[in-house]
Amino acid sequence: MERKKKKSAEGGTIDVIGIMDRIPHRYPMLLIDRVVDMVKAESCTGIKNVTANEPFFQGHFPTRPIMPGVLIIEAMAQTAATLVVDSLEGVDAATHIVYFMTIDNARFRRPVVPGDQLHIKVKKERHRGNVWKFRGEAFVDDALCAEATYTAMLVPDSERAIVNDN
């Protein structure tokens, strides 16, 4: 039985299954566990529960595990992609994919370590056609850990759509 993909309610929550309905990422590259405070086509907050079992901690760094900054930026992008896909009718992980175009002004302010809960706040700065620009900030408690501005493009995934139609 196929699960009906539903869009989130304004201000609502999307669980990890709903995130996987919207973006193609899977473990170990799915870097958000939940999306909350959804304001359609405008903003939301991604939640990442950082655990000692994350595969990247084996090498970054074994005696002092720190979440790599590039993965925090990737979590921002996944949060924004979930927002974009959730905001548009007829769009989901089977029909479209969101690609990075640019990453600007990335700053890393504080290490993220096992046991932290990362709150990734994304806000749309601009949207024209299939191109979206976001500002992302990642917090642990009230401490800013990372920030960046980035642009992404929503692209039909026609190859996958053809495979799924058969």
pLDDT of residue 1: 44
Cβ 133 vs Cβ 123: under 8 Å = no
- Alpha carbons 83 and 149: distance in angstroms, whole number: 16
Query: For residue 42, what pLDDT is reported?
Result: 97
Q: Which of 60, 96, 119, 127 is catalytic?
A: 60
Residue 161: pLDDT over 60: no
The more confident residue out of 63 and 8 is 63
Structure tokens at 109: 């302010």
127 is catalytic: no
Worst-scoring range by mean pLDDT, 5-19, 129-143, 150-164? Answer: 150-164
Binned at pLDDT 50, 70 and 90, residue 8 comes out as confident
Q: What is the pTM of this model?
A: 0.91
What average pLDDT is seen over the chain? 91
Per-domain boundaries in the chain: 16-165
What confidence score (pLDDT) does residue 10 get?
A: 76
Query: What Å distances lie between residue 49 and 30, 68, 115, 142, 149, CA to CA?
Result: 12, 14, 7, 15, 23
Using pLDDT thresholds of 50, 70 and 90, give the confidence band for residue 76: very high
* CATH-assigned architecture of domain 16-165: Roll (3.10)
Distances, alpha carbon 108 to alpha carbons 28, 65, 73, 143, 147, in Å? 22, 16, 10, 11, 7
